[in-house]
Amino acid sequence: EVHLLQSGGGLVQPGGSLRLSCAASGFTFTTYAMTWVRQAPGTGLEWVSSISGSGDSTFHADSVKGRFTISRDNSKNTLYLQMNSLRADDTAVYYCAKSKYQLLVDAFDIWGQGTMVTVSS
C-alpha cells in the first residue's frame, strides 16, 4: 500500500527552526516528484515547495523562498522540509504529497496525514 507518514512539527518561537519529515512506502520513491502544501487555520491550501525525483530540481513559493529548503534522501525514502526564520504566518498544517505520474508538475494522488506547526512566543 502506498503511504506517506509525516513527523516533526510542533511549537516553535518566532525566528526558530524546525524540520519536517515524510517517510514514503509502497512505491519507488526516487521516481516521483514530491511536494509540501500547507493550510493555515481556517484558510485554504497553499503550495509551499516541490522537488524532482532525483532531487536535482527544487521550487519554492515566494512566501518561503530563502527560509525553507525542500530536500529528499532517496536511500531512506524520506522527504524533508527544513524551515528556518519561522514567522507567525507560517503557522499551519503541513502536508506532504506525491505526484501521480513521473512528472515534475503533476496532480497529487497520495497525501500524508498532516503535521501542525505553530510559531508563537
Count of residues engaged in binding another protein, rule: CB under 8 A: 21
For 119, other C-beta atoms within 10 Å of its C-beta total 19
- 3-state class (DSSP) for residue 89: helix
Stretch that binds another protein, among 9-17, 23-31, 78-86, 112-120 (CB under 8 A): 112-120
- 3-state class (DSSP) for residue 34: strand
- Answer for which of 21, 35, 52, 78 binds another protein (CB under 8 A) is 35
The region that residue 64 occupies, defined by phi over 0 for left and psi between -120 and 50 for alpha, beta otherwise, is: alpha
Where do we find the cell 498544517?
93
> Is 1 one of the binding residues for another protein (CB under 8 A)?
no
> Is 2 one of the binding residues for another protein (CB under 8 A)?
no
Query: What are the residues binding another protein (CB under 8 A)?
Result: 35, 37, 44-47, 50, 59, 61-62, 95, 100, 105-109, 111-114
